[in-house]
Amino acid sequence: MKYCGIDLHSTNSVISVTDETDRVVAEKRLSNELSGILAFLVPWQPDLAGVVIESTYYGRSGIMHGLSVILRCDAQFLWVPGSASTPANLA
């Protein structure tokens, strides 16, 4: 099982994918373009338990919407692959 965390900034994001032992298996800074972020996650998509986003900058709602992120702190998983909210181009 893999987990993804995204630190969302105004113009770029740092995306980290970790395994169940918290070992970083991939990490990359990307521009805030949803297609690039989704493409980066494709290799781990079948094993992703979810994606969480840390951000105080909400001007990139296209990324949050594209990952079907619920803007709530108490959500257990913000994006669950294989669910109805999975982006179509990652399914």
pLDDT at residue 1 tops 60: yes
CB 79 within 8 A of CB 54: no
11-65 tens-digit pLDDT: 889 999 999 999 999 999 999 888 898 899 989 988 888 888 887 655 555 666 6
Only one residue has tokens 């709530």, namely 72
Q: What is the reported pLDDT for 45?
A: 86
Burial class (CB in 10 A: 0-12, 13-18, 19+), 34: middle
Q: Which long-range contacts (CB under 8 A, 24 or more apart) does 67-70 make?
A: 67/6, 67/34, 67/37, 67/38
Question: 82 pLDDT band (50/70/90 cuts)?
Answer: low
Tell me the CATH architecture of domain 2-66: 2-Layer Sandwich (3.30)
Q: What is the reported pLDDT for 64?
A: 64
